[in-house]
A = this chain, B = another copy of it.
C-alpha cells in the first residue's frame, strides 16, 4: 500500500445503498486528499453514481460482486452463504492488506461474524467489541463506550481488554492525554453488581497503565463528561445506547407537542430559531455515526443502516482516523506492556473454532 489511506466500502450495505455510500465518500474526498476508495458492489449501479462526483475521480476503484447480504440474514447464515457478497469481499480486502479499513452500513451481526472470522482477534484480545463515541454535557467532549452489543456476557478479563481498547481510542483519536475509564455498574459501593465487575475493577486499579481507572460509574454518569471511556458488557451497553436514543426521541416529541399546543409560542419561534439550530447541530445523531469494531486484526467501522450521506461520511472519517493513527499498533503495544508488567496476565488468542466449523458446514 502507498502513503494513501485505502478504504474498502461495502457499497451495497444499508437502507439507501449504494447512493449514500458514494455520496458520503465524495463528501470525505472533498475534505481529505489522502484517501482512496475501493467500492465493493454492483458495478452497473456504481459506475454512473461515482461518475457524478468529480471528487471521486482518480481515487476510486470498483470491485464487482453480484451478492448482497440481506439486513435480516442471521450472522451464521451470512458467514456460510455470503462468501461472494460485497461485505465479504470488502472485509477480505482488509485481510489481504489491500485496504486499511472497511466501512459498511449493512447487517451488524453479519459484519461482526464475518470480520471475526476473516480478520481474527488481535494477540491479547479475547473478543472484539463494538464501540461508539457518545455526546456529553461538555462541549466537544465525547465519551467512548463499549461494548455496545458484540458480547452478551463478558468475563473480567474481557472487560479489562475493552478498557484498554477504549482508552487507546480516547487517547489517539479524542486526544485525551490520560483517559479516565469507568466501569458501568448499579452503584458506587464495592458490594454491588456482578462478580466479574468487581474482579475487573481490581485488575484495572492495579494494572491499567496508559489510563486512569476512576471506579464504578452509573447510568447517570454516562453523559456527564467526567469519564472518557465507559466499559460494560454488550447486553447492558446495547440497552443503554438504545435507551439514550429512545429518551432523546421522547423528549424531542414532548417539546414539539408542547409548542404545538401553545399558539403564543409561534410568535416567539423566529427569535429562538438560531438557538434551536445550534442545538440541532450539536445533537445531530449523524455526527455520532460509526460503530467501531475494536480488537480485530483489521479496522472495521459499522455505519447506521439508515445513514444518509452526511452520517456515512462521518463513519468513513472514523475509519480513516483509525487507519491514519495506526490504532491497532498502539493497542498491541499497550497490551504487550501490560503483559510484561503482570506475567500472570498471559496473552490468550481465541481460536474461533466454532465459526470455522460454521463456515465449512
How many copies of this chain does the complex contain?
A: 2
Kindly specify which of A4-12, A78-86, A255-263, A323-331 makes contact with the partner chain.
Answer: A255-263
List 28 interface pairs A-B (beta carbons < 8 Å), by A numbering.
Answer: A137-B250, A137-B253, A149-B186, A152-B193, A153-B194, A187-B238, A218-B238, A219-B242, A219-B243, A223-B249, A224-B250, A235-B236, A243-B243, A247-B247, A247-B248, A251-B251, A254-B283, A258-B279, A259-B272, A261-B275, A262-B272, A262-B274, A264-B275, A265-B275, A267-B268, A268-B268, A268-B270, A268-B272
8 Å CB interface, A224-253 against B:
224, 232, 234-236, 238-251, 253
Query: In the assembled complex, which residues on chain B have CB atoms less than 8 Å from the CB atom of A257?
Result: 139
Query: In the assembled complex, which residues on chain B have CB atoms less than 8 Å from the CB atom of A249?
Result: 137, 220, 223
Q: Is A210 an interface residue (CB 8 A)?
A: no
Query: In the assembled complex, which residues on chain B have CB atoms less than 8 Å from the CB atom of A186?
Result: 149, 152, 234-235, 238-239
Q: How far is the CB of A113 from chain B (nearest CB, A)?
A: 12
Q: Residue A243 contacts which of B137, B244, B264 (CB distance < 8 angstroms)?
A: B244
Q: Report yes or no: B279 in contact with A274, Cβ–Cβ below 8 A.
A: no
Q: Report yes or no: B236 in contact with A261, Cβ–Cβ below 8 A.
A: no
Q: Is A221 an interface residue (CB 8 A)?
A: yes
Q: Report yes or no: A244 in contact with B247, Cβ–Cβ below 8 A.
A: yes
**CB within 8 Å for A194 and B235 given contacts A135-B250, A243-B243:** yes
Q: How far is the CB of A152 from chain B (nearest CB, A)?
A: 6
Q: Is A184 an interface residue (CB 8 A)?
A: yes
Q: Report yes or no: A243 in contact with B247, Cβ–Cβ below 8 A.
A: yes
Interface mask (A92-132 → B, CB under 8 Å = 1, otherwise 0): 00000000000000000000000000000000000000000
Query: In the assembled complex, which residues on chain B have CB atoms less than 8 Å from the CB atom of A242?
Result: 218-220
Query: In the assembled complex, which residues on chain B have CB atoms less than 8 Å from the CB atom of A149?
Result: 186
Q: Identify the A interface with B (CB < 8 A).
A: 74, 135-137, 139, 149, 152-153, 184, 186-187, 189, 191-194, 218-224, 232, 234-236, 238-251, 253-255, 257-259, 261-262, 264-272, 274-276, 278-279, 282-283
Given A219-B246, A261-B275, A265-B274, output 5 extra A-B contacts at Cβ < 8 Å.
A137-B250, A186-B239, A224-B246, A264-B275, A268-B272
Query: In the assembled complex, which residues on chain B have CB atoms less than 8 Å from the CB atom of A224?
Result: 246, 250
- A98 and B295 CA atoms in complex are apart in Å by 60
- A261 and B244 CA atoms in complex are apart in Å by 25
Q: Report yes or no: A271 in contact with B274, Cβ–Cβ below 8 A.
A: no
Q: How far is the CB of A140 from chain B (nearest CB, A)?
A: 12
Query: In the assembled complex, which residues on chain B have CB atoms less than 8 Å from the CB atom of A241?
Result: 219
Q: Report yes or no: B254 in contact with A251, Cβ–Cβ below 8 A.
A: no
Q: Report yes or no: A275 in contact with B259, Cβ–Cβ below 8 A.
A: yes
Q: Report yes or no: B254 in contact with A137, Cβ–Cβ below 8 A.
A: yes
- A249 and B247 CA atoms in complex are apart in Å by 11
**CB within 8 Å for A219 and B193 given contacts A149-B186, A269-B268:** no
Q: Report yes or no: A239 in contact with B264, Cβ–Cβ below 8 A.
A: no
